[in-house]
Amino acid sequence: MKKHFNLSFTLLLVLILGFGACTPKTEETTEVAVETPENFGGLALYTVRDSMSSNPKATLKAVADAGYAYVEAANYADGKFYGMAPAEFKFYLDSIGLTAISAHMGMVNMENADQLIADVKAAGISYFVIPVPPMGMFTFGPDGMGMKGTADELVSIMNTLGEKCANAGIKLLYHNHDFEFKPMADGTVIEDILLEKCNPEFVNFQMDLFWVTKAGVDPLTYFEKYPGRFKSWHVKDMNDSSQFAPVGTGTIDFGRILAEKSKSGMEYYFVEQDNTFGLDPMEAIKISHAGLEKFGFK
Residue whose C-alpha is closest to residue 183's, from 138, 221, 217: 217
pTM for the full predicted model? 0.87
Fold of 37-295: TIM Barrel (3.20.20)
Is the CA virtual torsion 163, 165, 166, 168 positive or negative? positive
Query: Residue 298 has what pLDDT?
Result: 87
* Each residue's pLDDT tens digit, 170-205: 999 999 999 999 999 889 999 999 999 999 999 999
In which residue ranges of the chain is pLDDT below 50? 1-36
Domain boundaries, the chain: 37-295
Query: Residue 1 has what pLDDT?
Result: 45
Query: Residue 37 has what pLDDT?
Result: 66
DSSP string over the chain: -HHHHHHHHHHHHHHHHHHHHHSPPPPP--PPPPP-PPP--EEEGGGGHHHHHH-HHHHHHHHHHTT--EEEE--EETTEETTB-HHHHHHHHHHTT-EEEEEE-TT--TTTHHHHHHHHHHTT--EEEE-S-TTTTEEEETTEEEE-S-HHHHHHHHHHHHHHHHHHT-EEEEE--SGGGS--TTS--HHHHHHHHS-TTTEEEEEEHHHHHHTT--HHHHHHHSTT-EEEEEE-EE-TTS-EE-TTSSS--HHHHHTTHHHHT--EEEE--S--TTS-HHHHHHHHHHHHHHHT--
